[in-house]
Amino acid sequence: MNDTYFLSLLVFSPLLGIILLAFVPKTQEQTIKLLGFLATLPSLILALFAFGQYLRGYDLSRLAEKHAWIHFGKFSFLSESTFTVDYELNVDGFALVMIVLTALLATLAAVASIHIKKEWKGYFMLFLLLEIGMLGVFAAGNLVLFFIFFEVTLVPMFFLIGKWGYFEKEKAAYSYLLYNGIGSAILLLVILILFARTGTSNIAVLQELLRDPQGAVQMIAPISNDLRYGLFIALLVAFGVKLPIVPLHSWMLRVHVQAPPSIVMLHSGVLLKIGAFGLIRFGMGLFPEQFQRFATLIAILGVVNLLYGAFLAFVQEDFKMVLAYSSISHMGIVLIGLGALNEAGIQGAIFQVVSHGLISALLFLLVSIMYERVHTTMLDHLGGLAKAMPLVSGFLLAGAMASLGLPGMSGFISEFTAFLGLFKAKPAIAAVGTLGIIMTAVYLLRAVLNMTYGTAKRGVIEAADIRTVELVPVLILLGCIIFIGVYPHILAQPLEATIQTMMNGLGG
């Protein structure tokens, strides 16, 4: 509305890094790595600044940006803004939290990228492009822009997996593209229908139009109740691929295992969360009534995710697979919270989004550090790591503890709050879900103790412990996890308004 460019600056600042990188000769490894890391900093600083201001009471709507962008024909008989797509960015508490998470993980993943072995120039350019996409998704003010940013994440991810990944990287990359392509196609369909029927793609306006029975009058064409259900289910599938909801998950297993760990930090830490973000923002935000009708199903899907992932994680031979199934399992908590349809549940779901982002980033950072030294993540080949690498082992154990929901760490707060919500709404489903709490401990301890405890295997004994440059990001992540666990108010406060809006939408 006015002439602030804060959000644009925040979202597009990595572009500067891309441009600068273009002028660096591709053999200058150190310069490229340093530049890649520095290019993530402006976004982080701006995001933290905005977050700090918001906590002090700054009104986020003042950050909104709007510039005329695309016009479709002239509809002088309708209002001025019909069938236009503006360039609009805005954030609320939830989006801002996600932006801070993204910017933070991007910086830390850039540090973890020191373990990348080849073609650093291309890698960092794609990396920064990926960051722009992720930041943009959370700041987008309308569906078209959201979709564009959403797609911007897709392309660099494809190449990052396919080129810098492990043994079966190509297969993983295509699997990623196929699933997410279908998800995107469905999403695009939903966006197009909404745009055609209402003449707008602005999220806030859509929210009002769809909710308000009077709003139907202002629409270009009415949206019947059946169509609403159709659109809602389409959204559920589109974001269900991303989250992922069982059985749409097989692509993400491959990505977890085949992509370079620094990219998995972002994939598991942020990209999966776009699924949750979309489900909350659009599924629940635009179609509250439909969401309510599907709440029980969503809660059941959550419990299925939780248990399915947990049981499968229990029999994996590769630590990365354990973590992949663990991600599926933990995303179940998000669905459990949303299915509860009350404040506690929604708060728990959003907490889990943030908390799991931090925890899985920490674990994959440690995988990266470990792989660098012992060149395997197979549980059978590892053992007794604690002898040679006491610090890495200690951090792995801390990460596992965070992941299994040890109080004092962020995982507990989110798990507890989500279950608190579901026990009020649907105690029977919740009771089944608590089995997952036990199973999480079982599979995580099995995996981590197999690697770090016991007798040291050959090839492991001489491995060096963590270096300072690796230590700092680990400590930052662990610090955040513990800080949220001890002082959850830091998350509860910025989310308060968003959750209140959600609850109003649900009529609660």
Partner 1 sequence: MMENAWIIPLFPLVSFFILLVVGKRMKEASAYVGMAATLLSFIGAVAVFAERLNEPTYQVKQVWFTIGNMNITAGFEINPLNALMLVVVSLVSFLVHMYSKGYMHGDERFSVFYAYLGLFTFAMLGLVISANLLQTYIFWELVGLGSFLLIGFYFYKEEAKAAAKKAFIMTRIGDVGLLIGMILLFWQTGSFQYDDIFAAVKAGSVSETMITLSAILIFIGAVGKSGQFPLHTWLPDAMEGPTPVSALIHAATMVAAGVYLVASLFPLYEASEPAMLTVAVVGGFTAIFAASIGLVQTDIKRVLAYSTVSQLGYMMLALGSGGYVAGIFHLTTHAFFKALLFLAAGSVIHAVHTQDIEKMGGLWRKMPLTAPLFLIGTLAISGVPLLSGFFSKDEILVAAWTNGHVILFWLAVVAAFFTAFYMFRLFFLVFGGDMRGDAHDVHESPTVMTMPMIVLGVLAVVAGYINTPWFGTFLGDFLTGETNVHEEAPAWIMVVATAVSLAGIFLAWLMYGKKSLSRDWLSSRAPLTYNVLFNKYYVDEFYTITVGYATKVLSLFLQYVDRFIVEGLAGLIASLTKAIGTLGSRWQNGQVQMYGAAMFIGLTILVVILAFTGGYL
Name the site residues for partner 1 (rule: CB under 8 A).
Answer: 175, 178-179, 182, 197, 221-222, 224, 226-227, 230, 246-247, 249-251, 308, 311-312, 314-315, 342-344, 347, 384, 386-387, 401, 406-408, 412-413, 416-417, 419-420, 423-424, 427, 431, 434-435, 437-439, 441-442, 445-446, 449, 452-456, 487-489, 492, 496, 499-500, 503
CB of 345 vs partner 1, minimal distance in Å:
9
If the CB atoms of residues 66 and 381 are measured against partner 1, the closer one turns out to be 381
Q: Which of 315, 352, 338 is nearest to 439 (CA)?
A: 315
Sign of CA dihedral 265, 360, 488, 311: positive
If the CB atoms of residues 48 and 497 are measured against partner 1, the closer one turns out to be 497
CB of 36 vs partner 1, minimal distance in Å:
31
CB of 44 vs partner 1, minimal distance in Å:
25
If the CB atoms of residues 227 and 469 are measured against partner 1, the closer one turns out to be 227
If the CB atoms of residues 133 and 244 are measured against partner 1, the closer one turns out to be 244
CB of 7 vs partner 1, minimal distance in Å:
28
CB of 407 vs partner 1, minimal distance in Å:
4
CB of 248 vs partner 1, minimal distance in Å:
9
CA distance 218 to 196: 13
If the CB atoms of residues 163 and 424 are measured against partner 1, the closer one turns out to be 424
CA distance 181 to 60: 33
CA distance 324 to 315: 12
Secondary structure of residue 378 in the 3-state scheme: strand
CA distance 387 to 132: 41
| Count of CB atoms situated within 10 Å of the CB of 237 | 16
If the CB atoms of residues 71 and 222 are measured against partner 1, the closer one turns out to be 222
Q: 264: which 2 tokens?
A: 């998995």
Secondary structure of residue 287 in the 3-state scheme: coil
CB of 483 vs partner 1, minimal distance in Å:
13
| Count of CB atoms situated within 10 Å of the CB of 395 | 25
Q: Nearest 5°: phi and psi at 96? A: -65, -40
CA distance 302 to 314: 18
Helix-strand-coil split of the chain, %, nearest 5: 75, 5, 20
If the CB atoms of residues 192 and 503 are measured against partner 1, the closer one turns out to be 503
If the CB atoms of residues 278 and 384 are measured against partner 1, the closer one turns out to be 384
Q: Where are the alpha helices (DSSP H) in 212-318?
A: 215-218, 225-242, 250-258, 261-266, 272-278, 285-286, 288-293, 295-314
CB of 322 vs partner 1, minimal distance in Å:
12
